Amino acid sequence: MTVSAPERVAVLMGGPSTERDISLMSGDYVLECLRSFGTAAHPCVVGKDCAFELPEGTEVAYIALHGIFGEDGQVQRLLEARGIPYTGDRADACARAFDKVASKRCLLAHGVPVPAAVFLSRPAAGEPLPPPPPAAAFPLVVKPARQGSSVGMSLVKDPSGWDKALETVFALDAEGLAETYIPGREFTVGIVAGEALPVLEICMERETFDFGAKYTAGAVTHRFGTLPPEEEARVKKIVLDAAAALDCRALGRVDLRRNDAGEFFVLELNNTPGFTKLSLLPDEARAAGRTPADLCREILLAAH
Ligand SMILES: Nc1ncnc2c1ncn2[C@@H]1O[C@H](COP(=O)(O)OP(=O)(O)O)[C@@H](O)[C@H]1O
Ligand SMILES: [Mg+2]
C-alpha cells in the first residue's frame, strides 16, 4: 500500500499506570500494524517514572499509553512543549475525558444520558468516610475518578460493602463516584477521525466487565449487529454527542449500558482505547470492513 504517512513514528508505550502491561501489548500490536504498511515505527518505552526519550528524528508520536500519564493529558502536554504532533485528542480534552467526575459533569451539561451518581472526596486524616446512601439506592458501582480497566471499581450490592469500596477508591485517588448500577446489556463504540464505528455488544456472564473479563481470552464475546437499526442509530448519535461534548472526536471508545427499557447510558469515553490483539477497537475495525492496520493508519494520519 502506498501512503503519505510520516516517515518516522515513535510508538509510546508502557508508562507508570496500573495498565502498563496492557499498554506494552497495545504498543507491540500498533508497531506491527504500522510496519505492515511500510512506516518506520520505533518503540519508545515510557518508564514507570514517566521518563522517555524519543528516537532520533521522530516526526510523530503515536500514543499507545493507557491510564495515568498517557490518557490524562500529561504526555500530550509534554509532546506539545517539544513541538511533536501526536495521535488522539488535545491535552485538555484528554484530561477531562479521563476524569470520570469531570467528564460526567460535562456530559450531563450537554444532555448526554449517564447513570445517576454521587461524587466522593477522600476525607481529611482522622475524618470519617462519607456515609452510604439509603439502602434503596443500591446496587451501586463505586469507582475512582482516574483509573481504567476497572481497576479500583466495586459493584456494591448493599450498604455493608460501602466502606470497603470507598477505601479501595481512596487508596488510588482522592476523588471518586458512586453510580446507579444499570442492569442489562453492555456496548462499546469506537470513534476514529470523527466517525463512529459499528456498535459492539460485549456479551458476558458477569455483572460487570471487570479486569479479568477484559484480559482473559474467551471471557467475553464481541458481537455486532445485535441491535435493531433504530437503536444502532440512536447509540451512534449518543456516542457522537458524547465525543463532541468532551471534544474527543479524533480517537476514542465510548462504553455504554442498555437497561431493559431500551435506554442507553454512557459510562465513559476512553481516549486511548486498548489495542492488544484481544481488544475491542481492532475488532471494530474488522466489523467496519477494515483491518486493524487500516485503523492505525487512519489514527496516525489524523495526528496533529
Ligand atoms: N453504572 C454502571 N452500571 C453497570 N455497570 C457498570 C456501571 N459502571 C461501570 N460498570 C461496569 O464496569 C465496567 C468498567 O467501568 P467503566 O466506567 O467503563 O470504567 P473503566 O473501564 O475505566 O474501568 C463497565 O464496562 C461495566 O461493565
Ligand atoms: Mg470502560
> pLDDT digit string (tens) for 31-66?
999 999 999 999 999 999 999 999 999 999 999 999
Q: Which 8-state DSSP code applies to residue 65?
A: -
Whole-number pLDDT of residue 146: 95
Backbone angles phi, psi at 239, to 5 degrees: -65, -45
Distance 122 CA to ligand 2 centre (A): 23
The residue count of the chain comes to 304
Q: How many alpha carbons lie under 13 Å from residue 283 in its C-beta half-sphere?
A: 18
Nearest to 295 by CA among 4, 31, 33: 33
pLDDT band at 135 (very low <50, low <70, confident <90, very high): very high
Whole-number pLDDT of residue 4: 59
Cα angle 145, 151, 152; round to 5: 65
Distance between CA atoms of 235 and 172, rounded to whole angstroms?
32
- Could you tell me where in the chain the CATH 3.40.50.20 domains are found? 8-88
Q: Does the annotation mark 259 as catalytic?
A: no
Whole-number pLDDT of residue 271: 96
* Residues at CB less than 6 angstroms from ligand 1: 115, 141, 147-150, 153, 179-182, 186, 208-209, 255, 257, 267-268
Distance 57 CA to ligand 2 centre (A): 35
Q: What mean pLDDT is reported for the chain? A: 95
Q: Does the annotation mark 268 as catalytic?
A: yes
pLDDT band at 218 (very low <50, low <70, confident <90, very high): confident
Using the predicted structure, report yes or no on whether residue 299 has a pLDDT greater than 60: yes
Catalytic residue among 270, 284, 294, 297: 270
Whole-number pLDDT of residue 3: 45
The set of residues, in sequence order, having a beta carbon less than 8 Å from that of 160 and lying 6+ positions away, is none
- What's the fold here for domain 117-180? Dna Ligase; domain 1 (3.30.1490)
Distance 76 CA to ligand 1 centre (A): 25
Q: Does the annotation mark 255 as catalytic?
A: yes
Domain 96-114+183-291 has CATH 3.30.470.20: yes
pTM higher than the cut 0.85? yes
**How are the residues of the chain apportioned to helix, strand and coil, as percentages rounded to the nearest 5?**
35, 25, 45
**Ligand having the closest approach to the CA of 151:** 1
- Could you tell me where in the chain the CATH 3.30.470.20 domains are found? 96-114+183-291
Catalytic residue among 255, 283, 284, 294: 255
Using the predicted structure, report yes or no on whether residue 7 has a pLDDT greater than 80: no
- Could you tell me where in the chain the CATH 3.30.1490.20 domains are found? 117-180
Tell which atom from ligand 1 comes closest to the C-alpha of 183: 4
At the top level of CATH, the class of 8-88 is: alpha beta
Whole-number pLDDT of residue 291: 97
Tell which atom from ligand 1 comes closest to the C-alpha of 152: 23
Distance 13 CA to ligand 1 centre (A): 24
pLDDT over 70 percentage in the chain: 98
Distance 280 CA to ligand 2 centre (A): 11
Catalytic residue among 23, 26, 103, 149: 149
Put the strands of the sheet holding 154-156 in their side by side order. Answer: 117-121, 175-180, 140-144, 154-156
Q: Give just the sign of the alpha carbon dihedral 186, 195, 85, 53.
A: positive
Asked if residue 7 lies in contact with residue 59, where contact means CB atoms within 8 angstroms, the answer is: yes
**Minimal-distance CA residue to ligand 1 atom 24:** 209
The set of residues, in sequence order, having a beta carbon less than 8 Å from that of 224 and lying 6+ positions away, is 198, 199, 200, 201, 287
Put the strands of the sheet holding 40-46 in their side by side order. Answer: 40-46, 8-14, 60-63
Q: Does the annotation mark 195 as catalytic?
A: no
